[in-house]
Amino acid sequence: MDRSDAQVSHCNVVAHNIITTCTANICRLEPDPGPCNQSIPRFYFDPEQGMCRKLTYGGCGGNDNNFVRRAQCLWACNPPLSDVCKMPPLIGNCKGSVKRFFFDHKTGQCKSFRYSGCGGNANLFGSMRECRFRCYPWLTPDVCSLPVDFGVCPEGEVSSPASMWYYDADSAVCTEFQFNGCNGNGNRFKTERECAEKCTVGTLQW
C-alpha cells in the first residue's frame, strides 16, 4: 500500500482527489521519511506551527502524515479558515528574504511580505492565488455585504484615484465607482468580473 492508498483509508476524499477531512491523529504524527533511500518531495503537517512543511520521503514506509501536494495537506489538517486568515503575518526566525503572501483580515485583501524562510504561522502562502483561494471563501459573505467606501486619504498624501467595482448587496449587482486611492475596505475589485466571481453565485457567464 503506497502513501496515497494509506491516506484514503483514513480520510474522506471528494472530487479531484482533494482531501477535505482527515482524522486528527494523522495530522499529529511526527514526520517520517521512511527507511528507503529515494528523495521524493512530499508535505507533512506541523501541528505546533499549524502549517504544512516540506518532507523528503524515502519511497517506502513512513506514516500517513505524508501528502503528495501541499493543497491536500492544507485541506486535511489546516486549522479552520477563520482562524488561519486572522493570524498576523510573521516573518519567521531565519535570515532569508523571500516574497510570500498573507491575508489581512482588517482590509479583506491578500498582501505580500518578506518571509525569512522558516517559522512563521499558517497565514503564509506561496502565491496571491493560493492566499485568495484559502481566505476569500471564508471572507466573502462579510466583504460582499460591506458598503461602498470611496477611501479617504490623509492630508498631504499623494493618491492615485482609479475606477473600481464594488458589490451592492441591496441590488445584488456589481457597480463601478471612483476609488480615491487610500484606505477603503475589502468590497473593492479591479474589474466587474473579479467582483462577480467573489460575490455572485452563478448569475453571470463569462
- Asked if the model's pLDDT at residue 16 lies above 70, the reply is no
H and E: helices and strands count for the chain: 6, 8
Q: Specify the fold of 82-142.
A: Factor Xa Inhibitor (4.10.410)
Long-range contacts of 18-22 (CB under 8 A, 24+ apart): 18/71, 18/72, 18/75, 19/67, 19/72, 19/75, 19/76, 20/75, 20/76, 21/76, 22/76, 22/77
pLDDT band at 36 (very low <50, low <70, confident <90, very high): very high
- Asked if the model's pLDDT at residue 23 lies above 60, the reply is no
More confident residue, 41 or 202: 41
Angle formed by the axes of helices 128-143 and 192-199, nearest 10°: 70
Domain locations along the chain: 3-78, 82-142, 144-206
Amino acid 146: pLDDT: 83
For 71-115, what is each residue's pLDDT tens digit?
778 777 765 555 778 889 999 989 999 999 999 888 878 899 999
Residue type, 145: S
User: Domain 144-206 belongs to what architecture?
Assistant: Irregular (4.10)
More confident residue, 6 or 59: 59
For 157-174, what is each residue's pLDDT tens digit?
777 889 999 988 777 789
pLDDT band at 17 (very low <50, low <70, confident <90, very high): very low
Amino acid 22: pLDDT: 40
- Are 3-78 and 82-142 in the same CATH fold? yes
Amino acid 63: pLDDT: 93
Which CATH code for domain 3-78?
4.10.410.10
**Grid coordinates in use for 197?**
466571481
